[in-house]
Structure 1
Amino acid sequence: MHPSFVPPRRVKIGDAAAFAGTTPRAIRHYHEIGLLPEPERGGDDRRRYGYEDMVRLLWVRRMADTGIALDDIRDAFAGSAPGSSAPAGSVPRNSDDDDIAAVLERLDEALVAQEAELRRQRAAVQRMRTQGSRAGLLSDVVTERLANVPEGSLRQADLDTLLVTERIFGPLGAAIQATRFIALAGSPDLRAESDRVDAAEEALDDTVAVDDPRVSQVAAERHAFEQKLEAAMEEAGLDEGDEALLDSWDAGEISDTGQTSMSVLEAVGKMPYDFSPARLRCMELAVELGARG
């Protein structure tokens, strides 16, 4: 005798759906894809679901709730099809248990990947709550590099630049560039000079000819500033942090998908905005000055 909670011997699709915790539409879909056999119909030509149909429907719902794809559930029920040795409505068993094991193995791997992604997302949210800024959305290696920067010393433009850099050069490139912003955050004089050189470069718009004397002048100013900034980073020991990052990357401890071997001028071509010919020439000259030492 069946337990008292078993539904009536034959019920309509609405009652079957309510009992299984699903919808009539979902049950009809199960019929369409061959996951749930068509039940007998009553005198009114409507489907009537018996005990065995309900048991199978419950197993389908329980398996679907674990994340198993409907096609895989259908394969798992193959051993319960008419003509098989398994009793109808029983726990699904494939004639080849290895097939079911493979399905469950794939599901387990997918769940492990989802768990890892959820942990990553939660860590990003916690970093955002702690830092109170969008810096938490940058890669772990970048946010860790910025961990000791005084609150409020980073500008939104700095974070925007790091976001673009991470897109082009990857987390490692962005983490190394973060060293610049750490140095600027600790020196109002360097920050002011950086702003001045940036403004001079921005002034090299399309109205300025490539051979205009201002182009080489700004390039020299950029080169001089970069030397001063590099000296400040070395004095503060920040360059040691960059070396540690590179060592970690060489050791495979940092997963990086960026193009770390790309030159500055190559990177400029991938930027989401255009530079005037005069500004591009200024960059070229600055790179040449830097190569000379």
Structure 2
Amino acid sequence: MYPPVTPPRQVKIGDAAAFAGTTPRAIRHYHQIGLLPEPERGGDGRRRYDYDDMIRLLWIRKMAQAGISLDDIRTAFDGAQNIEETLGRLGDTLATQEADIKQQRAAIQRLQTVGSPLGLLSSPVTDRLSHLPTGALRTSDLDALLVTERIFGPLGAAVQASTFIALATHPDLRAEADQLDAADAALDDSVDPDDPRVEELATQHHTHHKALTQTIEADGLDAAEENLFESYDADQTRDEDTRTSAFEAVTKMPYTYSPARIRCLQLTAQLLTQDHQNTPDDR
């Protein structure tokens, strides 16, 4: 027969930590923050933990494993805060974490399906572009979608995707866009904003935009845009990092545009606005 086991009345910090499933360093931290009262020391100057200490330590570990913060555990023990309030806040935090994990899993799946960097954009964008052959989209296209998604959200970028689908599937429009990009780049700081070339280029941009719009409509891409707003709700596609308005976001995004190029953009926008004002309202 085995000799009877006599449990100790007190144990040292190492034994207490081993039994509770923690570390001596963690227990010392509990003492420092007032979560676990520091016990008396024995004749050798070391802490000794009794039954009540171990019970409290075990409850601390259980609460910590449930995700309750050490500060909330302390206030719960002190009776300074209703535990239901703490649990309510914890539930909200866990719900947010679950949503984040869901989004991260979806992003990983998109990356596995369509590859990088397209897969890093939101699902409304990748859904619209994933059918295009490899290499159809340029790096500059993806860069533009990235910026648009940041400013206007996933649905805004998904609508802009129509432009890049049209460019990728119509070489003539892509060649024309390349010529306009080269002309834009030539509007450097040496060009006066009132130079006639600026207005001429704005007119060319206006014409090109109209051709793009007609192609988007002819190819049925605008119908796909309408379906987006029916298929995706705002909460599903919201960018949690977007905390500023579109205007504020634009003012914080640096550009290297010259005054002449900015003037060209303004003139193009005026022409497009005139088109919109002169278009009969069929609604």
The aligned counterpart of 1:76 is: 76
Written as runs of structure 1 = structure 2, the 5 A alignment for 1:66-105 is 66-78=66-78, 99-105=82-88
The aligned counterpart of 2:159 is: 176
Q: Aligned-pair distance for 1:144?
A: 2.4
Choose the corresponding residue for 2:257, options 275, 279, 284. 275
Written as runs of structure 1 = structure 2, the 5 A alignment for 1:217-228 is 217-228=200-211
The aligned counterpart of 1:111 is: 94
The aligned counterpart of 2:168 is: 185
Tell me: CA distance 1:233–1:7, structure 2 relative to 1, closer, same or farther (3 Å).
farther
Question: What is the alpha-carbon distance in structure 2 between the residues aligned to residue 6 and residue 77 of structure 1?
Answer: 31
Tell me: CA distance 1:250–1:56, structure 2 relative to 1, closer, same or farther (3 Å).
closer
The answer on whether the counterparts of 2:122 and 2:237 sit within 8 Å (CA) in structure 1 is no
The answer on whether the counterparts of 1:170 and 1:259 sit within 8 Å (CA) in structure 2 is no
Deviations 1:138-172 (A, max 9, x none): 22322223233333311121111111112222222
Q: Aligned-pair distance for 1:180?
A: 0.6
Written as runs of structure 1 = structure 2, the 5 A alignment for 1:253-292 is 255=238, 269-292=251-274
Bigger shift: residues 35-44 or 139-148? 139-148
Tell me: CA distance 1:136–1:250, structure 2 relative to 1, closer, same or farther (3 Å).
closer
Q: Does 1:12 align with 2:44?
A: no
The aligned counterpart of 1:83 is: none
Q: Secondary structure at the match of 1:133?
A: coil
How many residues align? The count is 269
Question: What is the alpha-carbon distance in structure 1 between the residues aligned to residue 90 and residue 108 of structure 2?
Answer: 27
Q: Secondary structure at the match of 1:166?
A: helix
Q: Aligned-pair distance for 1:42?
A: 0.7
The aligned counterpart of 2:116 is: 133
Question: What is the alpha-carbon distance in structure 2 between the residues aligned to residue 108 and residue 269 of structure 1?
Answer: 37
What is the alpha-carbon root mean square deviation over aligned residues?
2.8
Written as runs of structure 1 = structure 2, the 5 A alignment for 1:157-236 is 157-236=140-219
Tell me: CA distance 1:292–1:54, structure 2 relative to 1, closer, same or farther (3 Å).
same
Structure 2 unaligned regions, length at least 5: 276-283
Question: What is the alpha-carbon distance in structure 2 between the residues aligned to residue 110 and residue 267 of structure 1?
Answer: 27
The answer on whether the counterparts of 2:20 and 2:54 sit within 8 Å (CA) in structure 1 is yes
Question: What is the alpha-carbon distance in structure 2 between the residues aligned to residue 66 and residue 269 of structure 1?
Answer: 44
Q: Aligned-pair distance for 1:267?
A: 7.8
Tell me: CA distance 1:277–1:6, structure 2 relative to 1, closer, same or farther (3 Å).
farther
The answer on whether the counterparts of 1:168 and 1:270 sit within 8 Å (CA) in structure 2 is no
Structure 1 unaligned regions, length at least 5: 79-93
Identity of aligned residues (%): 60
Question: What is the alpha-carbon distance in structure 2 between the residues aligned to residue 118 and residue 6 of structure 1?
Answer: 49
The aligned counterpart of 1:81 is: none
Q: Aligned-pair distance for 1:6?
A: 10
Structure 1 or 2: more helix by fraction: 2
Q: Secondary structure at the match of 1:35?
A: coil
Question: What is the alpha-carbon distance in structure 2 between the residues aligned to residue 274 and residue 6 of structure 1?
Answer: 80
The answer on whether the counterparts of 1:127 and 1:136 sit within 8 Å (CA) in structure 2 is yes
Q: Secondary structure at the match of 1:185?
A: helix
TM-score (norm 1): 0.82
Q: Secondary structure at the match of 2:67?
A: coil
Q: Does 1:238 align with 2:232?
A: no
Q: Secondary structure at the match of 1:22?
A: coil
The aligned counterpart of 1:87 is: none
Question: What is the alpha-carbon distance in structure 2 between the residues aligned to residue 156 and residue 268 of structure 1?
Answer: 21
Q: Secondary structure at the match of 1:130?
A: helix
Amino acid at match of 1:10: Q
The answer on whether the counterparts of 1:7 and 1:51 sit within 8 Å (CA) in structure 2 is no
Q: Aligned-pair distance for 1:246?
A: 4.5
Amino acid at match of 2:19: F
Amino acid at match of 2:182: A
The answer on whether the counterparts of 2:153 and 2:238 sit within 8 Å (CA) in structure 1 is no
Amino acid at match of 2:198: V
Bigger shift: residues 219-228 or 132-141? 132-141
Question: What is the alpha-carbon distance in structure 2 between the residues aligned to residue 259 and residue 242 of structure 1?
Answer: 23
